[in-house]
Chain A
């Protein structure tokens, strides 16, 4: 626990993780989540895993958080700010979290990894590349198909089927109709 960089980065990461879950405004929570993910990337840099750190920043902060922020902007409503979890639920959640920390922490402190001597040299980028593209190349190809399938699945899920929505959705379709009717009426009045 002597490394000041480690202590600073862990403080930033844990604090912003708590803020991401507890801040009332959802969009600031998303930004705090981005800071958490950057903190994890800093840990990767401290662990001499610069390629994984770069990948983390590109994929998480560059793509995932931006996607989440856009979704929040699409679906956000004021009533969520008043969504109350209830004190009892919150206390039970905190108890479960502290129990996890206590039990697994005690298990780890008693295990032999506390006495491990870390090696001096880090795995090199060449080793990672060889392993990923030669030994794990079937997994790599399967991962490519998984990504393609998930993107296609997300597009199919989010696709708007105009006709079906008007037939099926009772209340929503009516609301939509009223909204668009009101808009048209307002424009006509002007």
Chain B
């Protein structure tokens, strides 16, 4: 059984990869990938602390379930924004997306 420190370290590495993607990438869909990776790092932390605390606590798993559902909603809106941006600009390079008013 791995310790809680190992899980937090994996979670930090995933968070760092996500931050790298958000700062470097210019493609809208890649930035959405990075956001997904960051959300999963957070969920991993929640579940790891829920299981490996000195007294196990089911609240972490409940919050992870809520978090997954919210992330699904966020992805639906993000992909709709990508479709709108593509329809207006024929491109999803975020340097070109100066306005989304239509």
Partner of B10 from the list A13, A30, A143 (CB cut-off 8 Å) is: A13
Contacting residues, chain B, for A116 (C-beta < 8 A) = 3-4, 52-54
Decide yes or no: A118 and B52 within 8 Å by CB, A26-B30, A147-B72 being known contacts: yes
Judge whether B97 is part of the interface by a CB distance below 8 angstroms: no
Contacting residues, chain B, for A18 (C-beta < 8 A) = 17
Contacting residues, chain B, for A47 (C-beta < 8 A) = 7, 47-48, 50-52
Pairwise interchain contact B24-A157, C-beta atoms closer than 8 A: no
CB distance from B56 to the nearest CB of A (A): 5
Contacting residues, chain A, for B57 (C-beta < 8 A) = 123
Contacting residues, chain B, for A172 (C-beta < 8 A) = 87-88, 90
Cβ contacts A60-82/B at 8 Å (1 or 0 each): 10011001100110110101100
Judge whether A131 is part of the interface by a CB distance below 8 angstroms: yes
Pairwise interchain contact A119-B75, C-beta atoms closer than 8 A: no
Using C-beta atoms within 8 Å of the partner chain, give the interface range for chain A: 35 or more
Pairwise interchain contact A46-B17, C-beta atoms closer than 8 A: no
Pairwise interchain contact A108-B74, C-beta atoms closer than 8 A: no
Partner of A157 from the list B50, B62, B71, B77 (CB cut-off 8 Å) is: B77
Pairwise interchain contact A67-B79, C-beta atoms closer than 8 A: yes
Pairwise interchain contact B72-A168, C-beta atoms closer than 8 A: no
Contacting residues, chain A, for B71 (C-beta < 8 A) = 59-60, 64
Pairwise interchain contact A33-B82, C-beta atoms closer than 8 A: no
Pairwise interchain contact A6-B2, C-beta atoms closer than 8 A: yes
Pairwise interchain contact A75-B75, C-beta atoms closer than 8 A: no
Number of interface residues of B (CB under 8 A): 76
Judge whether A121 is part of the interface by a CB distance below 8 angstroms: yes
Pairwise interchain contact A21-B51, C-beta atoms closer than 8 A: no
Pairwise interchain contact B47-A44, C-beta atoms closer than 8 A: yes
Cβ contacts A101-122/B at 8 Å (1 or 0 each): 1001100110001101111011
Pairwise interchain contact A43-B7, C-beta atoms closer than 8 A: yes
Pairwise interchain contact B7-A56, C-beta atoms closer than 8 A: no
25 A–B contacts from the bound complex (CB under 8 Å)? A10-B10, A17-B14, A17-B37, A21-B21, A21-B25, A21-B33, A29-B30, A33-B33, A33-B36, A43-B44, A49-B51, A49-B61, A52-B65, A67-B76, A79-B91, A85-B25, A85-B26, A96-B20, A97-B20, A105-B9, A117-B54, A118-B54, A153-B77, A154-B76, A165-B87
